[in-house]
Structure 1
């Protein structure tokens, strides 16, 4: 499982946007967004670079945790 610190997530829309962006790249991904902790946990075939690129494309600052 990959874990990323993500800044700027604050609501349900953020959760849906992040999840949708990652699921668009890997429909089998398991995405868990922790708004309070500012983390996204991803179980996926995607590389860390691909996940980071998807998060940044959605407008979020992200880095591996």
Structure 2
């Protein structure tokens, strides 16, 4: 498992946080997800490739910075 940090734009409420967390947990049910909406940061501890996690977040409609 590796620690990955993403800058995610567009999270404005608790529903947004849950959508991002659910997308990641669907990809990897064992993932540990921490979200700091105020800083637009999502930290994920997962065995999944970085691009797969970013794609899961983007599929929910959020912008992920490289």
TM over 0.5: yes
1:6-63 per-position Cα deviation (integer Å, ceiling 9, x unaligned): 0000110011000000000110000001000001000001111001100110000002
Q: TM-score scaled to structure 2, two decimals? A: 0.93
**Structure 2 spans left out of the alignment, 5+ residues:** none
Matches within 5 A, 1:34-49: 34-49=36-51
Provide the TM-score with structure 1 as the length reference: 0.94
Supply the RMSD in Å over aligned alpha carbons: 0.7
